[in-house]
Structure 1
Amino acid sequence: MTTDIDLLSTSHLYAVIAEVLDEHIRIGQLPPGLVLLEKPIAEVFQTSRAPVRRALAELESRQLIHRFDGRGFLVGPSSAAVPPIRTPFKALKLSLDAQADAALQTRASWERIYAEVERAVASCLVFGQYRIVEAELADHYRVSRTVARDVLSRLQERGLVRKNQSSHWVAGPLTAKDIRELYELRAALEPVALRGAVRQTPRETLQALCERCSASRRRPWTADMIDRIESDLHESLLLATTNDRLAESLRHIQLPLVETERFLRSLGLPIDPRIVDEHRIIYELLLLHDAVDAAAAALTNHLQAESRRSIIHLKTAAVFTEPPPLASYLARRVGY
């Protein structure tokens, strides 16, 4: 491996994935121009997309891959003009050295499903209160009740679920007050993360992100487009800050808001075109000399606007008599 990370001791699955991909890029098994997509990589590593997404962001920060206008990433720096290669990821048959293989095999069972459960729970909060049925969670993922309980315990530690008076696991609801408070926390922390992240972000990456926002203004609005623009800034860029504790705290603060908005956009809620302009302004300021403070202020303004939009979306979601189908282990509670 090319970095000093101890794969056997790291607690982060994304770091293991990043190092494996890093090594295969450097030895040429993942050739320049290869298209990297989250889902196929997640399937190979038998994990959810969340750690893969973070691993790809890490490789982008090392300038080993760059974002692809089509979808996903291309192997190689953004300056490399190579045509995209669409080889199925499984067909590449990655070989793992002993350390990487051991690190992947010794992952606790709960870690393999945690991120997916976390996202499913976060997505339902806007629709009211839900009970998470431990036995059905175990059946859904074909794991033991002990593993399911471990997942729920960690969700409890992070404030997404709790036990009610009947000792049932419950989540939600996400209220307007919750939204305001979470966005206040984000407004306090994300500008700090921005200052830390921008110091190690290549100028070419910022230019590509800015250009994507500009190009998006000329295309029909889609939920996927907005999801990607939001993810570019709030996940890929900001969570790349060198302060790991700040990044971890931010991720958990962002989670219920990001997943709720993503879910509601997928249902066809109206998209405010100002979102793209707000992101573009932040990137334009970051590209100017000595304008990081102005970019941080623009980020704060964006988050305040997002808070107002989210509360409007929350009220809109309240008109749904029945939410869309969710995971089988989530049971909506009426009249709680």
Structure 2
Amino acid sequence: MDANQIASLSDQVRARLEELIRSGAIQPGERLVELQLARVFAVSRSPVRRALVELEAGGLITSQGRRGYLVNGEARSDSGGSAHVDDINLDQSRHWERIYASVEQDVLTQMLYQPIKINEVRLAEHFEVSRTVTRDVLARMHGLGLIAKSRSGAWIANQLTSDTIRDLYELRELLEPRALKLVAPRLEPRQIEQAKMRIREILRNEIVDGASFDRIERDLHIDIIGACPNKEIVTALKRTHVLFAPTRHLLDPVLGIPLSQIEDALKEHLEILEHLASGSAKAAADHLAAHLSGAIDRWLGRLDHAGPSCVTPMPVYLSAFKI
């Protein structure tokens, strides 16, 4: 796990229990029960179960099967009951941010080829987070229009059809050039120059990895456009971000992307950035409009070229959904 990320719930549960055992707050001979601990920590049973397994591997507790775990050590004669642990609040303040990108990518990749359903309980167990965290993630995706509630109350994502893709591109054609004009005077020259450098670096290679191409897309269409001072435009465009998320998974992770497939798009990006660098906001916006007009068929072409075989396996919290 990245050092900047919060420890997983199981890591936090294990650390707190280990601290309580070593300090004597939980004493030898006392019993740790999975369900009770899940209530104490206000989490699902999955991270508690993993934490207990790790504590047993570390020699601090011993499994008693369905009766829970006994704390190892010399027990007092009156010990043997369940350990008393006051409610403990774990740090989950940024957990939704830690898992959001992964959940969004899984959902968007699968919905290119079929409608899907999201199991909220399995989602929480898969990422070892509380239901509160998963609700935050799903609420954010719902706010962006990526998922919706079915009549039965389940979270679903409809298939992203070619008609929907064309509609989203039309929205981008209407809004992105205007957003670029508005943000142009506010852009830092260094940001533009770094984006240009990344494109030139890619153009020197014959094969491009999906992540690098994704970064090029983000530089212009998300980072620069997203800094537009008209936040209503920015909010409306977030609905179109569904077009960016799947790209890195539509391409062979080993073979990469042949430069010939994306060279025109890269050169168009570079030309737009050149106009921004020279202070020609109108020319940049006009070239962006032309770029988006030609990008629809390129996007659909990459999707057809990739085919369902390039889609990653469906995670346990997703399933096919019949409308």
1:278 alignment partner in structure 2: 268
Indicate the larger mover: 270-279 or 115-124. Answer: 115-124
Q: 2: distance between equivalents of 1:228 and 1:188? A: 23
The more displaced of 203-212 and 256-265 is: 203-212
2:224 corresponds to: 237
Q: CA deviation at 1:293?
A: 1.0
Any idea what SS the aligned residue of 1:327 has? coil
Q: Compute the TM-score of the two structures, normalised by the length of structure 2.
A: 0.64
What is the CA-CA distance between 1:177 and the residue it aligns to?
Answer: 0.8
Q: What's the CA shift for 1:298? A: 0.8
Query: What is the CA deviation profile of residues 253-274 of structure 1, one whole-angstrom value per residue up to 9, with x for unaligned ones?
Result: 2321001223213555653211
**How many residues get paired?**
235
Q: What corresponds to 1:33 in structure 2? A: none
- Residue 324 of structure 1 is matched in structure 2 by 312
Report whether the alignment pairs 1:288 with 2:278: yes
Equivalent residues of 1:129, 1:171 under 8 A apart? yes
Q: Which residue of 2 aligns with 1:153?
A: 139
Instruction: Indicate how the Cα distance of structure 1 residues 253 and 219 shifts in structure 2: closer, same or farther if over 3 A, else same.
Output: same
1:90 corresponds to: none
SS across alignment from 1:123: helix
Q: Which residue of 2 is the match for residue 130 of structure 1?
A: 116
In the alignment, is the contact (CA less than 8 A) between 1:125 and 1:260 conserved in 2? Answer: no
Structure with bigger gyration radius: 2
**Partners in 2 of 1:106 and 1:171 — Cα distance?**
26
1:216 maps to 2:206:
no
Conserved 8 A contact 2:117-2:155: yes
CA RMSD, 1 decimal: 2.8
- Where 2:134 maps in the other structure, the secondary structure is helix
Contact 2:111 2:157 in 1 (8 A): yes
Partners of 1:152 and 1:216 in 2: how far apart?
Answer: 35
Q: Which residue of 2 aligns with 1:308?
A: 297
- Which residue is 2:176 aligned to? 190
After TM superposition, give the deviation of residue 183 of structure 1 in Å: 0.9
C-alpha contact (below 8 Å) 2:114/2:158 kept by paired residues:
yes
Q: CA deviation at 1:112?
A: 5.2
**Secondary structure at 2:116 match in 1:** strand
Deviation at 1:300, TM superposition (A): 1.1
Gaps of 5+ in 2: 8-90
Local SS of the residue matching 1:273: helix
TM-score norm. by structure 1 comes to: 0.61
Counterpart of 2:21 in structure 1 is none
Q: SS state of the match for residue 259, structure 1?
A: coil
Structure 1 residues not aligned, in runs of 5+: 1-38, 48-104
Paired residues for 1:1-336 under 5 Å: 40=2, 43-46=3-6, 107=93, 110=96, 113-222=99-208, 223-250=210-237, 252-267=238-253, 268=256, 271-289=261-279, 291-317=280-306, 319-320=307-308, 323-333=311-321, 336=323
Residue 279 of structure 1 and its aligned partner are, at CA, apart by 0.5
Q: CA deviation at 1:115?
A: 4.2
Q: Percent identity?
A: 33
Deviates more, 1:232-241 or 1:178-187: 232-241
Specify the code of the residue in structure 2 equivalent to 1:313: R
**1:243-299 Cα shifts (integer Å, max 9, x gaps):** 33433332x22321001223213555653211111111101222234x211110111
Give the aligned residue type for 1:191. P
